[in-house]
């Protein structure tokens, strides 16, 4: 394909996304997953159409019922007359793993609905990892006129937290007896939760788990304006999900009225910018380490113990980034 044809097709993809074309959106999401110059051009073209959606992160350990909850939330969001897009990110199943297939089947009830768009994202070419691709994927959905974008991520590790931080509102999902998760809340690892959900409320111990979360939140949220609500749900039968949606709406109001939305988005953009600069720098560094004679000379000095790695690193930094 000549670059001329490509330009034309990227232009038409962008135009068609804004018109609500789902195939164009699907194509754009593949492009931003891969990263690179085409992704950049799409983001540039669509940037004026972004910034208006509410981004909701749903995170928690595998099997707690995140996808089931998302499915139930979609019904609430549609009942409110809003258009909803879902990005399901599962780094453990990069291709067609069981979890992703399961999510598809579960969410099939919504597949006939033109105002629901569900996408399983894999960690593909993007060197900066899934978090960076997620920012751009959300931008594509925003340009497509989706009012609410849900980002489902597995687990509570560093990279998942990075993805969760692309959201305005983060829902942390647990289930009865999630002892490790409760520990994580106590130790402050899970301070990213704006709303807590103990799902599988039909199982024994749900209320006890909820009380434990409330108790640990009392300490960590002392003095803060937003007190994260803790809900018990049975997502499989839509029980308690309406209350979760009401909390999401309340959190949106809080973000707007307190000025936190602007602060959060600024913080988010700073994180994204910093990640992008790091990606550029790392690429340049790796390239230079391989190609530059000065770097090879330093490597030899390191090997011969004539120079320590700290001093070598400073010298490499000066050489590569100061011009
Ligand atoms: N008992 C019970 N099971 C549930 C509930 N919600 C989800 N599940 C089941 O828990 C399993 C994992 O759900 P899933 O939504 O895929 O979890 P995820 O890995 O967090 O996305 C599935 O077998 C669901 O049917 C619930 O409220 N109660
Ligand atoms: Mg899931």
DSSP string of 173-208, one letter each residue:
EE-TT-HHHHHHHHTTTTTT-SEEEE--TTSTTHHH
Q: Whose CA is nearest to atom 1 of ligand 1?
A: 200
Q: pLDDT at residue 201 above 50?
A: yes
For the beta carbon of residue 104, count every other beta carbon within 10 angstroms. Answer: 15
What confidence category does residue 244 fall into, taking pLDDT thresholds of 50, 70 and 90?
very high
pLDDT digit string, tens, across residues 64-81: 999 999 999 999 999 999
Domain boundaries, the chain: 51-258, 273-321
Q: How far apart are CA 225 and CA 31, in angstroms?
A: 40
Q: Whose CA is nearest to atom 17 of ligand 1?
A: 65
Q: Whose CA is nearest to atom 9 of ligand 1?
A: 65
pLDDT digit string, tens, across residues 100-134: 445 555 566 677 788 999 988 765 544 456 778 88
How many Å lie between the centroid of ligand 2 and the Cα of residue 71?
Answer: 10
Q: What percent of the chain has pLDDT over 70?
A: 84
Note the pLDDT of residue 95.
Answer: 39
Note the pLDDT of residue 176.
Answer: 94
Note the pLDDT of residue 272.
Answer: 87
Indicate whether residue 247 lines ligand 1 (CB < 6 A).
no
pTM score, two decimals? 0.87
- The CATH number of 51-258 is 3.40.50.300
Q: Tell me which residue has tokens 């790392």.
A: 282
* Strand locations in the chain (E): 54-60, 84-89, 116-121, 148-154, 169-174, 195-198, 230-232
For the beta carbon of residue 222, count every other beta carbon within 10 angstroms. Answer: 8
Indicate whether residue 145 lines ligand 1 (CB < 6 A).
no
Note the pLDDT of residue 308.
Answer: 96
């Amino acid at each position: 394909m000549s670059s001329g044809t490509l330009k034309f097709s990227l232009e038409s993809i962008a135009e068609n996304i804004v018109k609500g074309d789902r195939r164009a959106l699907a194509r754009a999401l593949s492009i931003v997953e891969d990263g690179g110059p085409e992704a950049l051009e799409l983001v540039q073209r669509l940037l004026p159409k972004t910034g208006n959606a509410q981004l909701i992160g749903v995170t928690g350990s595998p099997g707690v019922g995140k996808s089931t909850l998302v499915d139930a939330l979609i019904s609430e969001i549609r009942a409110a007359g809003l258009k909803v897009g879902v990005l399901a990110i599962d780094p453990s199943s990069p291709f067609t793993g069981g979890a992703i297939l399961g999510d598809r089947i579960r969410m099939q009830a919504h597949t006939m609905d033109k105002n629901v768009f569900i996408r399983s994202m894999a960690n593909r070419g993007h060197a900066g990892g899934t978090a960076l691709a997620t920012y751009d994927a959300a931008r594509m959905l925003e340009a497509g006129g989706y009012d609410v974008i849900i980002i489902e991520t597995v687990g509570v590790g560093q990279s998942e937290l990075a993805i969760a931080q692309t959201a305005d509102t983060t829902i942390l999902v647990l289930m009865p007896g999630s002892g490790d998760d409760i520990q994580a809340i106590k130790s402050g690892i899970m301070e990213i939760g704006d709303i807590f959900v103990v799902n599988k409320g039909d199982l024994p111990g749900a209320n006890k788990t909820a009380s434990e979360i409330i108790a640990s939140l009392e300490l960590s949220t002392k003095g803060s304006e937003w007190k994260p609500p803790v809900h018990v749900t049975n997502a499989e039968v839509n029980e308690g999900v309406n209350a979760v949606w009401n909390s999401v709406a309340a959190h949106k109001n809080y973000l707007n009225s307190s000025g936190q939305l602007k602060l959060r988005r600024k913080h988010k953009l700073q994180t994204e910018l910093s990640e992008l600069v790091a990606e550029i720098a790392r690429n340049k560094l790796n390239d230079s380490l391989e190609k530059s004679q000065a770097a090879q000379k330093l490597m030899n000095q390191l090997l011969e113990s004539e120079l320590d790695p700290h001093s070598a690193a400073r010298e490499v930094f000066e050489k590569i980034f100061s011009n």
